[in-house]
């Protein structure tokens, strides 16, 4: 059987989510216009109805008996059930000492085609025993084709307890084809929405003022499993100080397919990261796109943080990230085949974008405006293209390449850099500490600091056609004899207005850097013509100077030195 592409899978999820939105409008009126099989008006009737559900039954929970002080879970274990509430937030609220949660789907047996709409749940945590755990508002366990929409849940028990606390909505590992749409999840005991299972869409929900992750891509049941083929789109999330807005920080999986699409969400308030994916397994297919988020908690957390043992097909695109105290975007080791593009990062506490140990990727067309460290940092990475980015107001260098285990093979091209090095005034526009890097066509507006610096020990790099403003000292600090330089403005190794010593016709030029091979000499003014050139070498055999013999005595010569 041919495995579907990520686009096919996520397009199907999006279509399902669109269907849920339609159900919320025209679909809702259609259901309510149909005479329900059962109308519930008392707690006893509610519990008796759920205990004796029939396949295909439609249950209307009236607001007449609200809050319904339940003494047991409300279980749906048969096919085709629809539960409709009046939209009252405290419609269901467990009795003191009941030690139960809200509605469970597929708990005692597998079922399908179940819908729950407009049901409000309050967990009454002060009335439950501390030993009772995971009293979630809504649970989808062993079920397929489930829609939860327009519901609300709050104050789940245990309150503010990691992993054993009550989450708002829990979709567990045997669940498939689940849509969680347009629900209101607020002030819950643990996670807002936690997900295991396969083919899940979480769309248009408001998840605020919780504890751990707003939307977790893994679920404790109690063994932690993470979901696959997940769409998290168009949600409003914030105010959960102990977790990310969207997070996957553990869990087991059956294959190396993840397919996470986290798109077009709005984040705010206290939280750790907009999106955190970090665990020691293989994963494929992650897209984080079009999100807007501002962090108000000043811990050292990054806007997007990906730290996975092995991952491929990773895209971070078009996100706006404000005020994260860590890095704006952090791509960790083990990731290959990645793209970080068209993101805007404002006032990150550390580097704007860091790629640490990842390989075969692209960092392009991003805007970094304000960072405590470097604008873009390649740290131990290889085969990365950094192109078309705009970087300003950063404390370190604009772009840094360092710590590659061998030849880095990076391309750093067509970037626009200004206002870098705020921390000490000396950090350059581009700092190259690796070998095997091509740096070309970058535009560097400097404030006294160098435009490009090559660290000692780096070499076999090529610098072409870079531009720097002419104010201040020499903008180019490139010292390796094995590194080539050509076409810079202002020119590298330029010697103007030279005249012969004494009454002879020879001019001696000392190069600004050594060259492993004889460099090319170009001439401006030629002083009547050039007859010949001879080179001088040092003890390492590198070319460090030249003698230019003129055709006649006197005259002025301009000499420009370029690598061949």
Q: What is the pLDDT of residues 81-117, one digit of tens each?
A: 999 999 999 999 999 999 999 999 999 999 999 999 9
- What is the rounded distance in angstroms from the CA atom of residue 533 to the CA atom of residue 158? 84
Residue with tokens 């006032």: 347
pLDDT beyond 90 at 280:
no
pLDDT beyond 80 at 430:
yes
Q: Each residue of 393-410: b (16+ CB within 10 Å) or e?
A: bbbbbbbbbbebeeebbb
Cβ(106)–Cβ(76) below 8 Å: yes
Give the model's pLDDT for residue 141. Answer: 97
Coil/strand/helix, residue 51: helix
285 backbone dihedrals φ, ψ, rounded to 5°? 90, 80
Lowest mean pLDDT among 190-199, 281-290, 341-350: 281-290
Q: What are 329's two structure tokens?
A: 């975007």
Q: What is the pLDDT of residues 123-171, one digit of tens each?
A: 999 999 999 999 999 999 999 999 999 999 999 999 999 999 999 999 9
pLDDT beyond 50 at 500:
yes
First to last CA, the chain: 55
Cβ(470)–Cβ(514) below 8 Å: no
* Preceding omega of 290 cis (within 30 degrees of 0): no
Choice between 513 and 222, residue whose per-residue pLDDT is larger: 513
pLDDT beyond 60 at 367:
yes
Give the model's pLDDT for residue 34. Answer: 58
pLDDT beyond 70 at 18:
no
* Preceding omega of 67 cis (within 30 degrees of 0): yes
Q: What is the pLDDT of residues 168-185, one digit of tens each?
A: 999 999 999 999 999 999
Give the model's pLDDT for residue 257. Answer: 61
Give the model's pLDDT for residue 252. Answer: 55
- Among residues 2, 18, 6, 20, the alpha carbon closest in space to that of 199 is found at 6
Q: What are 322's two structure tokens?
A: 């404000």
**Of how many residues is the chain composed?**
564
Q: What are 363's two structure tokens?
A: 């960092």
Choice between 19 and 445, residue whose per-residue pLDDT is larger: 445
pLDDT beyond 80 at 74:
yes
The number of C-alpha atoms within 13 Å of 562 and in the hemisphere containing its C-beta is: 15
Dihedral of CA atoms 182, 184, 190, 194 in degrees, nearest 10, equals -10
Give the model's pLDDT for residue 62. Answer: 97
DSSP string, 231-273: EEES-EEE--TTS-SEEE---B-SSS---EEEES-EEESS-S-
11 backbone dihedrals φ, ψ, rounded to 5°? -65, -40
- What is the rounded distance in angstroms from the CA atom of residue 338 to the CA atom of residue 383? 11
pLDDT band at 28 (very low <50, low <70, confident <90, very high): very low
Other C-beta atoms closer than 10 Å to the C-beta of 164 total: 14
- What is the rounded distance in angstroms from the CA atom of residue 122 to the CA atom of residue 155? 6
Question: Which DSSP state fits 505?
Answer: S
Give the contacts of 81 (CB within 8 A, at least 6 positions apart): 53, 55, 56, 57, 58, 59, 111, 114, 115
Please give the average per-residue pLDDT across 389-410, as a whole number. 97
Give the model's pLDDT for residue 563. Answer: 82
Q: Burial of 245 by CB count in 10 Å (0-12 exposed, 13-18 middle, 19+ buried)?
A: buried
pLDDT beyond 80 at 406:
yes
Cβ(70)–Cβ(43) below 8 Å: yes
Q: Burial of 125 by CB count in 10 Å (0-12 exposed, 13-18 middle, 19+ buried)?
A: buried
Q: What are 326's two structure tokens?
A: 């860590």
Give the model's pLDDT for residue 23. Answer: 47
Q: What are 359's two structure tokens?
A: 């390989």
Cβ(217)–Cβ(244) below 8 Å: no
Cβ(514)–Cβ(542) below 8 Å: yes
Please give the average per-residue pLDDT across 328-345, as a whole number. 96
Give the model's pLDDT for residue 6. Answer: 45
pLDDT beyond 70 at 25:
no
pLDDT band at 29 (very low <50, low <70, confident <90, very high): very low
Q: What is the largest CA-CA distance in the chain?
A: 116
List the strands of the sheet with 530-537, edge to edge. Answer: 506-515, 543-550, 530-537
- What is the rounded distance in angstroms from the CA atom of residue 24 to the CA atom of residue 246? 24
- Considering Cα of 470, then 418, then 422, then 397, what sign does the dihedral take? negative
Q: Burial of 497 by CB count in 10 Å (0-12 exposed, 13-18 middle, 19+ buried)?
A: exposed
Give the model's pLDDT for residue 251. Answer: 55
pLDDT beyond 70 at 387:
yes
Give the contacts of 439 (CB within 8 A, at least 6 positions apart): 412, 413, 430, 432, 452, 461, 462, 463, 464, 466
pLDDT beyond 70 at 379:
yes
Q: How many helices (H) and strands (E) does the chain have?
A: 3, 54
Q: What are 50's two structure tokens?
A: 């759920």
Q: Please tell me the pTM assigned to this model.
A: 0.91
């Amino acid at each position: 059987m041919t495995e579907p592409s990520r686009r096919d899978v996520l397009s199907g999820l999006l279509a399902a989510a669109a269907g849920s939105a339609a159900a919320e409008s025209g679909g809702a009126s259609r259901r309510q216009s149909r005479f329900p099989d059962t109308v519930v008006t008392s707690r006893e009737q509610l519990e008796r109805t759920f205990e004796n559900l029939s396949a295909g039954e439609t249950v209307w929970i009236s607001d007449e008996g609200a809050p319904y002080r339940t003494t047991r879970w409300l279980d749906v274990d048969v096919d085709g059930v629809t539960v409709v509430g009046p939209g009252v937030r405290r419609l269901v609220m467990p009795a003191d000492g009941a030690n139960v949660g809200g509605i469970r789907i597929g708990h005692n047996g597998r079922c399908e085609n179940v819908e729950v709409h407009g049901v409000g749940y309050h967990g009454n945590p002060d009335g439950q025993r501390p030993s009772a755990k995971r009293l979630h508002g809504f649970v989808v366990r062993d079920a397929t084709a489930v829609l939860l929409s327009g519901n609300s849940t709050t104050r789940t028990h245990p309150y503010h307890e990691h992993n054993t606390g009550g989450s708002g909505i829990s979709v567990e590992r045997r669940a498939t084809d689940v849509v969680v749409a347009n629900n209101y999840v607020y002030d819950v005991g643990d996670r807002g929405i936690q997900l295991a299972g396969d083919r899940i869409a979480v769309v248009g929900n408001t998840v605020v003022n919780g504890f751990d992750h707003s939307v977790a891509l893994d679920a404790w049941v109690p063994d932690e499993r993470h979901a696959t083929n997940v769409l998290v789109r168009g949600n409003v999330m914030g105010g959960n100080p102990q977790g990310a807005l969207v997070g996957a920080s553990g869990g087991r999986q059956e294959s190396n397919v993840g397919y996470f699409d986290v798109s077009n969400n709005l984040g705010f308030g206290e939280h750790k990261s907009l999106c955190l994916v970090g665990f020691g397994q293989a994963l494929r297919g992650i897209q984080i796109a079009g999100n807007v988020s501002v962090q108000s908690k000043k811990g050292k957390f990054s806007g997007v943080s990906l730290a996975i043992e092995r991952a491929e097909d990773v895209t971070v695109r078009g996100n706006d990230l404000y005020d994260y105290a860590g890095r704006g975007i952090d791509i960790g080791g083990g990731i290959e085949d990645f793209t970080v593009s068209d993101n805007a990062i404002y006032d990150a506490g550390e580097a704007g974008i860091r790629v640490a140990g990842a390989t075969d990727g692209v960092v392009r067309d991003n805007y970094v405006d304000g960072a405590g460290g470097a604008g873009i940092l390649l740290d131990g990475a290889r085969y990365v293209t950094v192109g078309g980015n705009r970087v300003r107001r950063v404390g370190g260098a604009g772009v840094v390449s360092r710590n590659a285990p061998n030849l880095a093979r990076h391309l750093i091209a067509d970037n626009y850099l200004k206002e870098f090095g705020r921390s000490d005034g000396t950090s350059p526009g581009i700092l190259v500490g690796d070998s095997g890097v091509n740096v070309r066509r970058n535009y560097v507006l400097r404030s006294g600091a160098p435009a490009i610096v090559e660290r000692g020990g780096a070499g076999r790099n090529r610098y072409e056609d870079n531009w720097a403003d002419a104010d201040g000292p020499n903008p180019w600090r490139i010292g390796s004899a094995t590194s080539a330089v050509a076409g810079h403005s202002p020119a590298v190794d330029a010697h103007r207005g030279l005249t012969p010593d004494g009454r002879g016709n020879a001019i001696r030029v000392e190069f600004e850097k050594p060259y492993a091979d004889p460099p090319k000499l170009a001439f401006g003014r030629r002083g009547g013509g050039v007859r010949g050139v001879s080179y001088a070498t040092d003890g390492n055999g590198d070319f460090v100077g030249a003698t230019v013999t003129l055709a006649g005595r006197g005259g002025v010569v301009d000499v420009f030195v370029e690598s061949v």
